[in-house]
Amino acid sequence: MMKLSARQFGIGVVLLALLARLPGLNGRSLWYDEAFSILYARNLPAVITQGAVSIENGAAADVHSLFYYGLLNGWMRLLGDTPIGARSFSVFLGVLTVVLIWRWLSWLFAEETGRMTAVLVALSPFHVYYSQETRMYALLATTAVATAWLFTRAWASGRWRDWLLVSVSGALTLYAHNLGSMIIISLVIWTGWQWLKGNGRMYWRKWLAAHIFMLLLFAPWLTVLFTQLGHIRQAYWITRPDLTSLLQTILIFHFGYDNQALPVWLVPFALFLSFLLLAFLLLAAWQARRQSARQETIPDAVSLLVCLAIVPVGLTFLVSRFVPVYVVRALLPSALAYYALLAVVLAAAKMPRGIRWLLWGGTAVVALLSLFNHYTYQAFPRPPFAQATADLQAELATGDLVMHSNKLTFLPAQYYAPDLPQVFIVDPPGSGSDTLAEATQRALGIKAKAIENVETAVDSHSRVWFVIFQQAIEEFAEQGKPHPHLAWLRAHYTETAVRQYNDLYIFQFIANEN
């Protein structure tokens, strides 16, 4: 890599990042979260005027700020709201993050370290996944890396201009995702550690002014944020994490993603290499603890990366003991800091060639297999909705009704086929899944399609198509009970056919003759 000029490497790593982020961009169906993002961003004026950014009836209308949705709205006005049009925004942000982290680590350490980090990020399954998904996590990664870079430059220069840029970038990180606060807190903790060691104390006024201004920029959202956090206790799908959650986080950081599963046969290899890489990092760090050969633009740059990699994970875990907010995808910036640490160690470590090839060759193979699984994955929660809705449209007759067991199948169908005569059964009030508030339903134009029970919906329809995930059926089967909505339909209608799209089922029912 060092034989390439900076310009040549930059072009090459951008092409590599694009190559990893383009496959399946248009072929894979949108799932619930992505459909929500597109519909929410598309209807942004109604979202604002109808109060869909607040809390209603104990359910979170949406727990994120409008920053991402506003950007997505503008992007879709230029490129359209097709899957490839909407997802290309995340692709752009993902590639931009690769470039930013290359330049940051090259400035912070050396060109070789920056290039290694860029390659690791470009091919990271975790980062690739969220560089293809229409959600705000690619934006969070971009703003977090930019904030960390600007922070280190301000720390090195001490200029007011640089600290002002930290304020703006930090506020954007907070707006990108509520858990962007963990990145800011990590930088605060590292600052405190440096002050205890006598470093950077001359900047305390500029540092304090920058953070006060950052909070002032974020202040318009704080009132909504505190209300949201209070209601998350009442109704939100996130559960409190445990040690298993931490193990899953380690796996996801290395080879996975938290919205779809790796193949069962690949998991042992992925786990083994994940812990092997982690052990390698810790061992190399221990061996180099007294070495001063590292060329760092700012003192303790390695400790800064350690802080960014560990503090958000640990702090989010601890906070979740009281308010469950532990979402691995929101820890994507920490994963990027971890990849930077691996690059630092790789650049400095001296290993026998055989061990080096075994470690990194095995890592590359498992990462490529994980990426292939991602490109071809079509199971829960992202089965082939596009094909399923197309088939429904082809077979639907006058008087038919399409009924969804919940919002998870309804919203993608609403995106692909908004003219279908379809309804969905709302989540039980106060349950962990009750996250689609009435204000949001009205803003999205789907309030009339939200029903509370099966009986109300099927009253005058002679044929009903019932859409449900296999997982929902199995959850009741494990309790020794049939799914209640499916059981009611079977008791009052005649089941005539069932179609399966991987783990998505569409049952056809015809009304019994009196």
Percent of the chain whose predicted confidence (pLDDT) is above 70: 91
H-run or E-run covering 171: helix 160-176
| pLDDT of the residue at 164 | 97
For residues 351 and 346, which has the higher predicted lDDT (pLDDT)? 346
For residues 24 and 238, which has the higher predicted lDDT (pLDDT)? 24
Angle (CA) 436 408 22, round 5°: 110
| pLDDT of the residue at 33 | 94
For residues 432 and 317, which has the higher predicted lDDT (pLDDT)? 317
pLDDT band at 225 (very low <50, low <70, confident <90, very high): confident
| pLDDT of the residue at 114 | 95
| pLDDT of the residue at 289 | 59
| pLDDT of the residue at 59 | 41
Which pTM was predicted? 0.94
Delimit the domains of the chain by residue range: 6-30+63-376, 385-511
* Residue 230 in this model has a pLDDT that exceeds 80: no
pLDDT digits (tens, 9 = 90+) for 476-512: 999 999 999 999 999 999 999 999 999 999 999 998 8
H-run or E-run covering 464: strand 463-469
User: How many Cα atoms are found within 13 Å in the side-chain-facing hemisphere of 239?
Assistant: 5
Q: What is the C-alpha separation between 499 and 477, in angstroms, rounded?
A: 20
pLDDT band at 229 (very low <50, low <70, confident <90, very high): low
The top-scoring range by mean pLDDT among 19-28, 135-144, 241-250, 258-267 is 135-144
pLDDT digits (tens, 9 = 90+) for 395-416: 999 889 999 999 999 999 999 9
Q: For the residues 72-101, what does the mean pLDDT come to?
A: 97
* Residue 318 in this model has a pLDDT that exceeds 90: yes
pLDDT digits (tens, 9 = 90+) for 439-459: 788 888 899 899 988 888 887
Q: What is the C-alpha separation between 72 and 127, in angstroms, rounded?
A: 19
| pLDDT of the residue at 511 | 87
Answer for the pair 306, 286: CB distance below 8 angstroms, yes or no: no
* Residue 475 in this model has a pLDDT that exceeds 70: yes
Read off the DSSP letter of residue 331.
G
Q: What is the C-alpha separation between 187 and 300, in angstroms, rounded?
A: 13
Answer for the pair 120, 112: CB distance below 8 angstroms, yes or no: no
pLDDT digits (tens, 9 = 90+) for 41-74: 998 887 777 666 654 444 445 678 889 999 999 9
Q: What is the CATH number of domain 385-511?
A: 3.40.50
* Residue 434 in this model has a pLDDT that exceeds 70: no
